[in-house]
Amino acid sequence: MEITFLGVVFAVIIVLLAIGRPLYQAIAGGMIVTAGLFHIPVTVIVTKIASVIINWSSLSVLLSLYLITFLQRIESRSQIRLAQQDLNGIFHNRRINTAGAAFFIGLLPSAASMILCADIVKDATEGYLDPKEQAFTASWFRHIPESVLPTYTAVLLMSNLSGVEISEFILYMIVPVLALAGLGYAVYLHRIPNDTGTPASTNRLADFAHLIQHLWSLLLILILILVFHFQVVTSVLVSIALCIIIYRVTLDEIRKFIFAAFEKKMLGNTFLVLCLKELIAHTGVLLLLPDAMAKLPLPTYLIFGLLFFTATVISGSTGAIAMGTPLAFAAIPGGAPLMAYLMCMAHAASQISPTHVCLVVAADYFHVTLGDIVKKTLPVSIAFCVLMTLYYNVIKL
């Protein structure tokens, strides 16, 4: 019955989005239905909502979104445009610029990087893709690194729970990463002309130096995270501090940026999504999924693949991995091939999950609905799952 209730919650969200209601109303409606169907006391609801602000794991998401927006206000979009020109000079290929820039920004393990990615994708595809297609392209390519890099919690957590070495896992993920890029290219990226509309570079080395100059603040954030293991919020604060000094930002400008960076719609929608995740986690419905899935007349590996997919759509990949990995590796002696397969299923599901904060950010940036992004992404995610199921049956031998 609880699983049926959960289906009703997501049906309410989907219906509200389908009839054109704003995202905050759809998520709020899902929260109300969750509280009613699962009889969650008001005191618990208040506690769970408060925990989004109190717990650093969720507060840092909101704070990093705000700080990245603040950083953008300091630099203005001119830096992004100049970086786009540098990429045109280096590769002289609009498709490579679009996918490569999004992939590069995906190295930053923060939902706020979606804003930076959207800036570049919009500039590169304007006039060739509509806003819905731009939102899909930015989200799809930005998230490819998330499926494989150990800078992301999901990869580290599954490696720890499964006992699979990261290096071995990455080896098996080469094909999935290529598949993700290929699918993204086949759907929309191929429609973008290769020609950038600008003269070919006469000095690629100079263009590369200019690219570093125009993206130094982002590069600094990446270095602090990947090399020195700083937290995202701390890294962005360091970058902001240096920008203020280098660009000689005045106190009046700082005060203006403080208010301008507060994107109420984006932060509000993100806050509600985090609240919904807390309420769903409280219901404990994820713990019921393994038994329900076990009743299906399917191979064991496929049952766990569907389990990871379903659980990720409901509450994100972290919850699915924490719940399902010990069970999967106890039932199947899979090693790195199994980890790669389950990670692929979770990754595909995360691209259509209403609890995925990055999708909220992309929807707000491109002024489309979350439902629009899901409609564009769902067929591609399913195609990826089918390909990875075939891939797993080859590599497990």
Summarised one tens digit per residue, pLDDT across range 345-375 is 999 999 998 878 888 889 989 999 888 999 9
List, in order, residues 6 or more apart from 229 with CB less than 8 Å away. none
pTM assigned to the model:
0.72
Rounded CA separation 69/378 (Å): 29
For the four alpha carbons of 211, 215, 220 and 223, in that order, the dihedral sign comes to negative
Given a contact cutoff of 8 angstroms between Cβ atoms, the answer to whether 38 and 2 are in contact is yes
Position 203, amino acid: N
Q: Which of 138, 150, 152, 144 is nearest to 175 (CA)?
A: 144
Amino acid of residue 125: T
pLDDT band for 108, please (50, 70, 90 cuts): low
Phi/psi region, residue 356 (left: phi>0; alpha: psi -120 to 50; beta: rest), is beta
Is residue 373 within 8 A of residue 132, CB to CB? The reply is yes
User: Averaged over 54-60, what is the pLDDT?
Assistant: 82
Burial class for 156, CB neighbours closer than 10 Å (0-12, 13-18, 19+): middle
pLDDT computed for residue 150 by the predictor? 67
Residue 341 has pLDDT above 90, yes or no: yes
Categorize the per-residue pLDDT at 80 as very low, low, confident or very high, splitting at 50, 70 and 90: low
Residue from 366, 341, 351 nearest 183 by CA: 351
pLDDT at position 393 is 94
Higher-pLDDT residue of 268 and 83 is: 268
Cα atoms in the 13 Å half-sphere on the side-chain side of 151? 22
Q: pLDDT tens digit string along 208-251?
A: 887 787 778 878 887 887 678 787 788 889 999 999 998 888 99
The predicted-structure confidence for 136-159, as pLDDT tens digits, reads as follows 999 999 999 889 876 676 787 788
Q: Is 299 left (phi over 0), alpha (psi -120 to 50) or beta?
A: beta
| Mean pLDDT on 154-180 | 86
Please tell me the distance from the alpha carbon of residue 389 to that of residue 397, in angstroms, as a whole number. 13
> Residues 315-334: what's their mean pLDDT?
77
